[in-house]
Protein backbone atom coordinates (compact mmCIF):
# COMPACT_ATOMS: atom_id res chain seq x y z
CA UNK A 1 0.00 0.00 0.00
CA UNK A 2 0.92 3.69 -0.20
CA UNK A 3 0.54 6.13 2.67
CA UNK A 4 -1.93 8.14 0.60
CA UNK A 5 -4.32 5.16 0.63
CA UNK A 6 -4.75 5.24 4.41
CA UNK A 7 -7.62 6.97 6.18
CA UNK A 8 -8.42 7.24 9.86
CA UNK A 9 -10.36 4.18 10.95
CA UNK A 10 -9.44 2.21 7.85
CA UNK A 11 -8.84 -1.49 8.40
CA UNK A 12 -5.99 -3.26 6.63
CA UNK A 13 -3.89 -6.41 6.82
CA UNK A 14 -0.30 -7.50 7.31
CA UNK A 15 1.20 -10.96 7.70
CA UNK A 16 0.58 -10.62 11.46
CA UNK A 17 -3.16 -10.00 11.14
CA UNK A 18 -5.80 -7.28 10.89
CA UNK A 19 -5.17 -3.63 11.88
CA UNK A 20 -7.00 -0.30 12.12
CA UNK A 21 -5.41 3.04 11.29
CA UNK A 22 -5.61 5.47 14.23
CA UNK A 23 -3.36 8.33 13.09
CA UNK A 24 -1.57 9.53 9.95
CA UNK A 25 1.70 11.43 10.04
CA UNK A 26 3.87 13.02 7.40
CA UNK A 27 5.75 9.81 6.59
CA UNK A 28 4.19 7.20 8.89
CA UNK A 29 0.84 5.85 10.01
CA UNK A 30 -0.20 4.60 13.45
CA UNK A 31 -2.47 1.61 14.02
CA UNK A 32 -3.86 -0.82 16.58
CA UNK A 33 -4.04 -4.55 15.96
CA UNK A 34 -7.55 -6.01 15.93
CA UNK A 35 -6.78 -9.18 17.89
CA UNK A 36 -8.70 -8.57 21.12
CA UNK A 37 -11.68 -10.63 22.33
CA UNK A 38 -13.10 -7.52 24.02
CA UNK A 39 -13.86 -4.99 21.25
CA UNK A 40 -14.07 -2.16 23.82
CA UNK A 41 -10.28 -2.01 23.60
CA UNK A 42 -10.75 -0.51 20.15
CA UNK A 43 -12.58 2.54 21.53
CA UNK A 44 -10.45 5.64 21.48
CA UNK A 45 -8.36 7.63 21.42
CA UNK A 46 -6.96 7.18 23.93
CA UNK A 47 -6.75 3.40 23.49
CA UNK A 48 -6.28 0.82 26.22
CA UNK A 49 -4.03 -1.23 23.93
CA UNK A 50 -0.74 -0.34 22.30
CA UNK A 51 -0.57 1.69 19.10
CA UNK A 52 2.17 0.82 16.62
CA UNK A 53 4.00 3.06 14.17
CA UNK A 54 4.30 1.87 10.56
CA UNK A 55 7.18 3.50 8.68
CA UNK A 56 7.53 3.67 4.89
CA UNK A 57 8.90 0.13 4.67
CA UNK A 58 6.13 -1.29 6.85
CA UNK A 59 3.45 0.53 4.85
CA UNK A 60 4.60 -1.11 1.61
CA UNK A 61 3.92 -4.56 3.08
CA UNK A 62 0.33 -3.69 4.08
CA UNK A 63 -2.71 -4.65 2.04
CA UNK A 64 -6.45 -4.05 1.98
CA UNK A 65 -6.83 -7.69 0.97
CA UNK A 66 -6.47 -10.42 3.59
CA UNK A 67 -6.13 -13.16 0.98
CA UNK A 68 -2.51 -12.21 0.27
CA UNK A 69 -1.51 -13.45 3.72
CA UNK A 70 -3.44 -16.73 3.81
CA UNK A 71 -1.33 -19.89 4.02
CA UNK A 72 -3.64 -21.97 1.81
CA UNK A 73 -3.81 -19.62 -1.17
CA UNK A 74 -1.68 -21.96 -3.30
CA UNK A 75 -4.01 -24.87 -2.55
CA UNK A 76 -7.08 -22.78 -3.44
CA UNK A 77 -5.56 -21.74 -6.79
CA UNK A 78 -4.88 -25.39 -7.65
CA UNK A 79 -8.38 -26.57 -6.71
CA UNK A 80 -10.80 -27.72 -9.41
CA UNK A 81 -13.57 -25.42 -8.19
CA UNK A 82 -11.37 -22.31 -8.30
CA UNK A 83 -10.08 -23.26 -11.76
CA UNK A 84 -13.67 -23.46 -13.02
CA UNK A 85 -14.51 -20.10 -11.45
CA UNK A 86 -11.33 -18.59 -12.90
CA UNK A 87 -12.21 -19.93 -16.37
CA UNK A 88 -15.67 -18.35 -16.06
CA UNK A 89 -14.05 -15.09 -14.96
CA UNK A 90 -11.78 -15.16 -18.02
CA UNK A 91 -14.82 -15.81 -20.25
CA UNK A 92 -16.57 -12.79 -18.76
CA UNK A 93 -13.52 -10.67 -19.55
CA UNK A 94 -12.90 -12.04 -23.06
CA UNK A 95 -15.21 -9.44 -24.65
CA UNK A 96 -16.43 -5.93 -23.95
CA UNK A 97 -18.01 -5.11 -20.62
CA UNK A 98 -21.37 -6.93 -20.39
CA UNK A 99 -21.05 -8.75 -23.72
CA UNK A 100 -20.08 -12.05 -22.08
CA UNK A 101 -21.39 -13.13 -18.70
CA UNK A 102 -21.22 -16.14 -16.40
CA UNK A 103 -23.48 -17.20 -13.55
CA UNK A 104 -22.30 -19.40 -10.69
CA UNK A 105 -24.66 -21.67 -8.79
CA UNK A 106 -23.27 -21.38 -5.25
CA UNK A 107 -24.94 -24.62 -4.17
CA UNK A 108 -23.76 -26.92 -6.95
CA UNK A 109 -20.75 -25.04 -8.33
CA UNK A 110 -22.13 -25.22 -11.88
CA UNK A 111 -21.41 -22.26 -14.13
CA UNK A 112 -23.85 -20.98 -16.74
CA UNK A 113 -22.81 -18.79 -19.66
CA UNK A 114 -24.26 -16.12 -21.91
CA UNK A 115 -22.62 -14.33 -24.81
CA UNK A 116 -23.64 -11.72 -27.36
CA UNK A 117 -21.00 -13.05 -29.76
CA UNK A 118 -20.54 -16.81 -29.50
CA UNK A 119 -22.88 -19.78 -29.32
CA UNK A 120 -23.17 -21.47 -25.95
CA UNK A 121 -24.25 -25.08 -25.40
CA UNK A 122 -27.88 -25.26 -24.34
CA UNK A 123 -26.96 -27.22 -21.20
CA UNK A 124 -24.74 -24.33 -20.11
CA UNK A 125 -27.50 -21.72 -20.37
CA UNK A 126 -29.72 -20.93 -17.39
CA UNK A 127 -33.35 -20.36 -18.26
CA UNK A 128 -34.60 -16.96 -17.12
CA UNK A 129 -37.36 -18.50 -15.02
CA UNK A 130 -34.81 -20.66 -13.17
CA UNK A 131 -32.73 -17.72 -11.97
CA UNK A 132 -32.62 -17.41 -8.17
CA UNK A 133 -30.77 -14.41 -6.76
CA UNK A 134 -30.16 -16.27 -3.48
CA UNK A 135 -28.32 -19.04 -5.30
CA UNK A 136 -26.98 -17.63 -8.57
CA UNK A 137 -24.36 -14.90 -8.74
CA UNK A 138 -22.71 -13.17 -11.70
CA UNK A 139 -18.97 -13.54 -12.02
CA UNK A 140 -17.40 -10.07 -11.86
CA UNK A 141 -15.67 -8.20 -14.64
CA UNK A 142 -12.08 -7.25 -13.84
CA UNK A 143 -13.11 -3.60 -13.71
CA UNK A 144 -15.49 -4.49 -10.87
CA UNK A 145 -12.44 -5.70 -8.93
CA UNK A 146 -10.30 -2.62 -9.65
CA UNK A 147 -8.06 -4.65 -11.94
CA UNK A 148 -7.92 -2.14 -14.75
CA UNK A 149 -5.69 0.93 -14.77
CA UNK A 150 -5.10 0.70 -11.02
CA UNK A 151 -3.21 -2.55 -11.60
CA UNK A 152 -1.12 -0.95 -14.35
CA UNK A 153 -0.08 1.92 -12.10
CA UNK A 154 0.70 -0.46 -9.22
CA UNK A 155 2.98 -2.50 -11.50
CA UNK A 156 4.63 0.64 -12.84
CA UNK A 157 5.33 1.94 -9.36
CA UNK A 158 6.94 -1.34 -8.32
CA UNK A 159 8.90 -2.33 -11.41
CA UNK A 160 9.48 0.80 -13.51
CA UNK A 161 9.06 3.89 -11.30
CA UNK A 162 11.13 6.04 -13.67
CA UNK A 163 8.39 5.62 -16.28
CA UNK A 164 5.41 6.66 -14.16
CA UNK A 165 4.92 9.92 -16.08
CA UNK A 166 5.20 8.13 -19.43
CA UNK A 167 2.62 5.50 -18.40
CA UNK A 168 0.30 8.21 -17.13
CA UNK A 169 0.52 9.91 -20.54
CA UNK A 170 -0.11 6.60 -22.32
CA UNK A 171 -3.34 6.08 -20.40
CA UNK A 172 -4.62 9.54 -21.15
CA UNK A 173 -5.38 8.43 -24.73
CA UNK A 174 -7.18 5.61 -26.51
CA UNK A 175 -5.33 2.38 -27.28
CA UNK A 176 -3.43 2.65 -24.02
CA UNK A 177 -3.02 -1.06 -23.26
CA UNK A 178 -1.44 -1.78 -26.63
CA UNK A 179 1.09 1.04 -26.19
CA UNK A 180 1.71 0.02 -22.57
CA UNK A 181 2.57 -3.51 -23.67
CA UNK A 182 4.90 -2.11 -26.33
CA UNK A 183 6.68 -0.20 -23.57
CA UNK A 184 6.90 -3.34 -21.43
CA UNK A 185 8.27 -5.29 -24.40
CA UNK A 186 10.99 -2.69 -24.93
CA UNK A 187 12.03 -3.09 -21.29
CA UNK A 188 11.80 -6.89 -21.32
CA UNK A 189 9.05 -6.74 -18.67
CA UNK A 190 6.10 -8.12 -20.61
CA UNK A 191 6.23 -11.64 -19.13
CA UNK A 192 6.68 -10.17 -15.66
CA UNK A 193 3.57 -8.04 -16.24
CA UNK A 194 1.52 -11.09 -17.27
CA UNK A 195 2.64 -12.98 -14.16
CA UNK A 196 1.85 -9.98 -11.95
CA UNK A 197 -1.54 -9.42 -13.58
CA UNK A 198 -2.49 -13.09 -13.27
CA UNK A 199 -1.45 -13.25 -9.61
CA UNK A 200 -3.38 -10.11 -8.67
CA UNK A 201 -6.45 -11.33 -10.54
CA UNK A 202 -6.36 -14.62 -8.66
CA UNK A 203 -6.03 -12.88 -5.30
CA UNK A 204 -8.88 -10.48 -6.10
CA UNK A 205 -11.07 -13.35 -7.31
CA UNK A 206 -10.45 -15.38 -4.15
CA UNK A 207 -11.35 -12.32 -2.08
CA UNK A 208 -14.54 -11.89 -4.12
CA UNK A 209 -15.43 -15.52 -3.44
CA UNK A 210 -14.91 -15.04 0.28
CA UNK A 211 -17.08 -11.93 0.32
CA UNK A 212 -19.86 -13.87 -1.43
CA UNK A 213 -19.66 -16.97 0.80
CA UNK A 214 -18.16 -19.18 -1.90
CA UNK A 215 -15.92 -21.77 -0.27
CA UNK A 216 -13.36 -24.18 -1.70
Residue ranges per structural domain of the chain: 3-64, 71-216
Those residues whose C-beta lies under 8 Å from the C-beta of residue 81, and which sit 6 or more positions away, are: 109, 216
Please state whether beta strands 136-138 and 52-54 pair in parallel, antiparallel, or not at all (unpaired).
unpaired
Q: Look up residue 191 and give its DSSP letter.
A: H
Question: What average pLDDT does the chain have?
Answer: 91
List strands edge to edge, sheet with 100-105.
Answer: 111-115, 100-105, 136-138
- 35-57 per-position pLDDT tens digit: 999 999 999 999 999 999 999 99
Residue 88: what pLDDT? 94
Which secondary structure element, helix H or strand E, spans residue 102, and what is its range? strand 100-105
pLDDT over 90 percentage in the chain: 63
182 or 133, which is more confident:
182
Query: Other C-beta atoms within 10 Å of 29: how many?
Result: 26
DSSP 109-142: --EEEEESSS---GGG---GGG--TTTEEEPPPG
Residue 195: what pLDDT? 93
Q: In the predicted model, is pLDDT for residue 123 greater than 80?
A: no
Prediction pTM value: 0.68
Average pLDDT score over residue span 161-170: 95
Give the span between the Cα atoms of 140 and 143, in whole angstroms.
8
90 or 15, which is more confident:
90
pLDDT over 70 percentage in the chain: 99
Average pLDDT score over residue span 199-203: 91
Residue 71: what pLDDT? 66
Amino acid sequence: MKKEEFQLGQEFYTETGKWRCTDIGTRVIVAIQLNQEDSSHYNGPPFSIAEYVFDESDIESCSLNSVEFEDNIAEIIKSKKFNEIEDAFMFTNSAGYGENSALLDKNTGKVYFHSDWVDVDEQDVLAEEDFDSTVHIHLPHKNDLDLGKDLVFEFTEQYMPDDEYKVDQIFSKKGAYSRFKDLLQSKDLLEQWYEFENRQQQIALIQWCKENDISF
